[in-house]
Amino acid sequence: STARVVIDPRYRVGPINRRLFGSFVEHLGRGVYDGLYEPGHPTADAEGFRADVLELVRELGVSTVRYPGGNFVSGYRWEDGVGPREERPRRLDLAWHSVETNEVGLDEFVSWSRKADVEVMYAVNLGTRGVMEAIDVLEYSNIASGSTLADARVANGHPEPHDIRIWCLGNEMDGPWQLGHSTAEEYARKAAQTARGMLQLDPDLELVVCGSSMSKMPTFGVWEQTVLRETYDDVSHISCHAYYQEHDGDTGSFLASAVDMDFFIESVIATADAIKAEKRHEKSIQISFDEWNIWYGTRFVEVDRITERDRWPYAPRLLEDVYSVLDAVVFGNLMISLLKHADRVTSASLAQLVNVIAPIMTEPGGPAWRQTTFFPFATTARLAHGVVLTTLVESGTYDTARHGEAALLDAVSTHDPETGATSVFLVNRDQSGEMTVSIDVSGFGDVTVAECVSLYDGDLYAVNDLGNPERVGLTTNETAEVVDGVLTVRLPSVSWTALSFR
Ligand code: AHR
């Protein structure tokens, strides 16, 4: 098939906030323990952090990392994880039915984040705790000295404040699975009170109020209205979470997952803007899409979930999805959706980072490797700089069971006014064959293609795993060329492509 794209450096969606390329580390399974932290590993540094994992995190190009949960945070006492290690308690983590040894806590994670060159986004527990504990952890983290909590941090070996700027007011409080799950009204009050207290302590914080856990939640829409009515003055962001998977071999619907992500984002923007009008507010609320990924959640519920009263394992293998080429193509498309809305989605977190539904996998005592999804993330984070351009796409369509009529091509482009580099990210959802795309680049003057890579495979279900960690990777796409202001490129059937020109 064929498709057309029109872009011009003058027509812009908005600047790209680097926080769009964030990720997420939860105390869950082998995300922290036997993931980024493994003191006995041959590459472990003095603090027990795996250097091979740190190197891959830097290569991935992650900007922020949300921590420490997720569902975990709703049962977490932050103070368990600070101070002398030998005095830290062992706790039962009800969310993932595991034992939490607290070997790693806030101070260690901040130390890891400095090594990984990422910004910490910290979530407070509003499930089983409240305003006081949120203010306490903020005081411990951000006040230089002169209070008992700030001085405790100094005594624990961290003389400088952690200075965490962006905080999540709880996690997925709309979900019945959440410890302390509450109604929108209950959560809205608690979130507003917590936000005000936190801002009294540190007025310039950016605060993220919980939106919906997915667009299919029965409370979706009303939840956002209720919490924003109560918290509008004090928060900067509202969260969205979404996970996608292939259901019952319905590849066509799966390939169109970004249609749902677009709908989700646009619905939350509309809702937030309605409250803005109602309140005659100056400020627009931003979206923090702080959990997104492919996740075979049905597999977790049916196979992995631990429920026995007397079994509370340490760092069990949970949610260790192995991603296929098909998964990576859809994943790349989700990044396109986030970028298309960069004027309002100013923070996002790929959930998660290591071992748990992750782009990076590790084996205890053994290697670390890149899953298929690593490639679209790393390449998009590397090439998408500056501003997102209005990207007009004209292609054929196909019918899907889950998302209605979907375009065969999805695409977005970015332009860096400083370097002059322009990038285009494209997904061919066509299962019947390749697609030739003509991109009108006449508005950029005389340009040539600098780079073009594609992710595809004859076997859509090919993966990278311990036995064959480099089976799947990026392929240089030699077909891209510019003639008379038109850039043409051929996209293989079911593929993700990134190109840049200048
Ligand atoms: O990322 C895995 C889990 O998904 C998180 O703990 C939770 O917030 C979401 O339901």
Q: Whose CA is nearest to atom 7 of ligand 1?
A: 70
Alpha carbon of 346 to those of 205, 231, 424, 433, 486: distances in Å?
Answer: 15, 19, 19, 35, 31
Q: Is 69 in the pocket of ligand 1 (CB under 6 A)?
A: yes
CATH architecture of 389-501: Sandwich (2.60)
For the segment 417-431, what is each residue's pLDDT rounded down to a tens digit?
999 999 999 999 999
Measure the CA–CA gap between 446 and 117, rounded to whole angstroms.
Answer: 37
Short-list 421, 420, 377, 413, CA closest to 393: 413
Q: What is the pLDDT of residue 98?
A: 97
Q: Whose CA is nearest to atom 6 of ligand 1?
A: 70
Distance of CA 152 to the CA centre of its chain: 32
Short-list 369, 368, 375, 360, CA closest to 325: 375
Q: Is 351 in the pocket of ligand 1 (CB under 6 A)?
A: yes
Q: Quick one: residue 63, left, alpha or beta (phi over 0 = left, psi -120 to 50 = alpha)?
A: alpha
Measure the CA–CA gap between 446 and 443, rounded to whole angstroms.
Answer: 9
Q: Is 479 in the pocket of ligand 1 (CB under 6 A)?
A: no
Domain boundaries, the chain: 17-383, 389-501
Q: Is 212 in the pocket of ligand 1 (CB under 6 A)?
A: no
Q: What is the pLDDT of residue 301?
A: 80
Is the separation of the CB atoms in 406 and 384 below 8 Å?
no
Task: For residue 403, report the phi and psi dihedrals to the nearest 5 degrees.
Answer: -125, 20
Ligand 1 centroid from CA 69, angstroms: 7
Is the separation of the CB atoms in 348 and 338 below 8 Å?
yes
Q: Whose CA is nearest to atom 2 of ligand 1?
A: 70
Q: What is the pLDDT of residue 283?
A: 98
For residue 26, the ligand 1 atom closest to its alpha carbon is 6
Q: Residue 266 catalytic?
A: no
Q: Whose CA is nearest to atom 1 of ligand 1?
A: 351
Ligand 1 centroid from CA 120, angstroms: 18
131-142 vs 148-155: helix axis angle to the nearest 10?
A: 50
Ligand 1 centroid from CA 56, angstroms: 23
Q: What is the pLDDT of residue 304?
A: 81
Q: Is 161 in the pocket of ligand 1 (CB under 6 A)?
A: no
Q: Is 93 in the pocket of ligand 1 (CB under 6 A)?
A: no
Task: For residue 140, report the phi and psi dihedrals to the nearest 5 degrees.
Answer: -60, -40
The model carries a pTM of 0.98
Q: Is 171 in the pocket of ligand 1 (CB under 6 A)?
A: yes
Q: Whose CA is nearest to atom 8 of ligand 1?
A: 70
Is the separation of the CB atoms in 68 and 76 below 8 Å?
yes
CATH architecture of 17-383: Alpha-Beta Barrel (3.20)
374-383 vs 325-340: helix axis angle to the nearest 10?
A: 30
- Give just the sign of the alpha carbon dihedral 206, 210, 211, 213: positive
User: What percent of the chain is helix, strand and coil (3-state, nearest 5)?
Assistant: 30, 25, 45
Q: Is 352 in the pocket of ligand 1 (CB under 6 A)?
A: yes
How many C-alpha atoms does 269 have within 13 Å on its Cβ side?
14
Residue 340 neighbours by CB distance under 10 Å: 23
Q: Among 100, 171, 178, 291, say which to mutate for ligand 1: greatest number of ligand atoms within 8 Å of CB.
A: 291
The stretches in the chain having pLDDT less than 70 are: none
For residue 69, the ligand 1 atom closest to its alpha carbon is 6
Q: Whose CA is nearest to atom 9 of ligand 1?
A: 70
Ligand 1 centroid from CA 39, angstroms: 26
Q: What is the pLDDT of residue 20?
A: 98
Tokens describing residue 128: 């089983």
Q: Which residue has the tokens 């036997």?
A: 34
| Catalytic hit among 38, 139, 224, 291 | 291
Measure the CA–CA gap between 411 and 97, rounded to whole angstroms.
Answer: 41
Q: Is 172 in the pocket of ligand 1 (CB under 6 A)?
A: yes
Ligand 1 centroid from CA 355, angstroms: 14
Tokens describing residue 20: 């769009």
The residues pairing with 124 across neighbouring beta strands, listed in sequence order, are 169
| Catalytic hit among 133, 139, 172, 230 | 172
Q: Residue 172 catalytic?
A: yes
Measure the CA–CA gap between 418 and 63, rounded to whole angstroms.
Answer: 20
Peptide bond just before 83 cis, omega within 30 deg: no
Q: Whose CA is nearest to atom 5 of ligand 1?
A: 70
Burial class (CB in 10 A: 0-12, 13-18, 19+), 470: exposed
Q: What is the 8-class DSSP label of residue 150?
A: H
Could you tell me where the beta strands, DSSP code E, fall in 255-300? 286-294
Ligand 1 centroid from CA 71, angstroms: 6
Q: What is the pLDDT of residue 464?
A: 98
Q: What is the pLDDT of residue 33?
A: 98
Measure the CA–CA gap between 70 and 371, rounded to whole angstroms.
Answer: 22
Is the separation of the CB atoms in 210 and 170 below 8 Å?
yes
Q: Is 108 in the pocket of ligand 1 (CB under 6 A)?
A: no
Looking at 128-256, list the stretches that DSSP marks H as alpha helix, in order from N- to C-terminal side.
131-142, 148-155, 184-201, 222-231, 251-255
DSSP, residue by residue, 358-420: -SEEE-TTS-EEE-TTHHHHHHHHHH--SEEEP-EEE--EEEETTTEEEESEEEEEEE-TTT-
Alpha carbon of 215 to those of 220, 222, 224, 324: distances in Å?
Answer: 6, 11, 11, 25
The residues pairing with 288 across neighbouring beta strands, listed in sequence order, are 239, 347
The residues pairing with 6 across neighbouring beta strands, listed in sequence order, are 392, 440
Measure the CA–CA gap between 151 and 71, rounded to whole angstroms.
Answer: 30
Q: Whose CA is nearest to atom 4 of ligand 1?
A: 70
Distance of CA 3 to the CA centre of its chain: 30
